[in-house]
Amino acid sequence: MSKTPTPHIGAKPGEIAGTVIMAGDPLRAKFMAETYLQDPVLFNQVRGMLGYTGTWQGKRVSVMGHGMGIPSIGIYTYELFHFYDVQTIIRVGSAGACQPDLQLEDLVLAMGACTDSNYGAQFQLPGPFAPIADFGLLTRAAQECERRGFRYKVGNVLSSDTFYSENPQTEKWRKMGVLAVEMEASALYMNAARAGRRALVINTISDHILTGAVTTSEQRRSTFTKMMEVALTLV
């Protein structure tokens, strides 16, 4: 019996491309499809998590939402890797800066992803696992940022399980060189490692934990286009 459609993705086999660019907000996926893809076709709207497949410069690619937090991206990326034979997932998302030299709308290429989540416990490893990006994707993304003159940094991010924390620990992570805080990269990297697939997270700084600077939800949805354009060059 076919394992597709899955409980969370309504696509049939073959409707999703080998590379999927994902965003937490499904409306950001819709924006990418309508802005960048030629002839985009909707393959998923289960739970409102929109997904489209089209072409970009003649290359077949899919874009899809993944929701907020590690449990949500963990489910969607597992199903894409294991049931739809997706080979590469690139997350384009927002992050809060925790280093003073980062500015709003800078890009952060997540070379590694620390986490305070217990997601990795399921793998029953004898010690902590260090989730990392695919080096080839990371290198190409950095080169593309250089070529386009985009402000960017490469380094560690923190994938946090909490957005509103009773006991914020940001300063401790900042002292260890962590660039920014988001909520999904570590689970994506763990799922990719377990499946033997490729993954990269490209974040745009949407707010600054140290200065209090912040962007609006509409800006995050429709003006964070630099990370989308870099991701598309990796297809």
Residues marked active site are found at 207
136-137-138-139 Cα dihedral, nearest 10 degrees: 50
232/141 Cα distance (integer angstroms) = 10
Residue 194's CB: how many other CB atoms inside 10 A? 14
Q: Where are the beta strands (DSSP E) in 75-143?
A: 88-97, 107-115
Q: Which helix (H) or strand (E) holds 231?
A: helix 225-232
With CA atoms as reference, report the closest residue to 22 among 200, 218, 233.
200
Q: Among residues 235, 221, 223, which one has the least CA distance to residue 65?
A: 221
Contact between 205 and 106 under an 8 Å Cβ cutoff? The reply is: yes
